[in-house]
Amino acid sequence: MRETLFVPVHEQGAVILLDVETEQPFEIEAAFHRDFQLEWPAALGATYSSWMAEERAFYFGEEQRKFVALVGSPTAAEPQQEYQTNYSEAQESSFRLGATTKGKERKLIVIAGSMEGRVGAEKTYRHLTIDYADLLKESAEYYRTYLAETVTLDLPDAQIQQAYDWSRVSMLQGMVTNPFLGTGSSRGTVLRERANGQDSHGFSGAIRAGLRWP
């Protein structure tokens, strides 16, 4: 199996491509722990999740119904949702992507978000699901063009050259757009870790989602 994670340049979401090649029946299960919050010290308050059968995705929401996210797949089935009762709990949610009996097949996991409610998140989710191939090409071309049209260095070592080019891409990725605040450079990403049932926070530089380039 080959996994490709990419974030379209102009979309509020990400796509994970899973290219399967097998001689025996093979099925992927996607499992995750929900962490649907703003970066510290901001907070959304109480958040929740539910399964949307029509979209084959988990729905993440909050009390004001302004911040929304969807995580799912066009082939998602057999969802298992986090729960909490007086006698047991599970923090993990999951879904299966459907079995590949033999040969080659591509599976998708789609993540979409919105700061404008459910309608915006659903629109982005469907767009990423349907048009992911074009968005992948567009993202790759965007970074090729950036590298070709900005100042660069030709280095004698191929690995150093690659690291240098990736550092230039990372600088560009550090520019983020907030519909309420405009576009600017991101200071960094807050790392959230859960210890003894509580969230702890620490800054560890900018961690960006991986984009497929070139």
- Residue 107 Rama label (left phi>0; alpha psi -120 to 50; beta): beta
pLDDT single digits (tens) 23-51:
999 999 999 999 998 877 788 888 999 99
pLDDT single digits (tens) 45-99:
889 999 999 999 999 999 999 999 999 999 999 999 999 899 999 999 999 999 9
Q: Average model confidence (pLDDT) for the chain? A: 87
CA distance 208 to 175: 11
Average pLDDT of the segment spanning 187-214: 45
pLDDT at 199: 55
pLDDT at 188: 52
Question: How buried is residue 129: exposed, middle or buried, by Cβ count under 10 Å (0-12/13-18/19+)?
Answer: buried
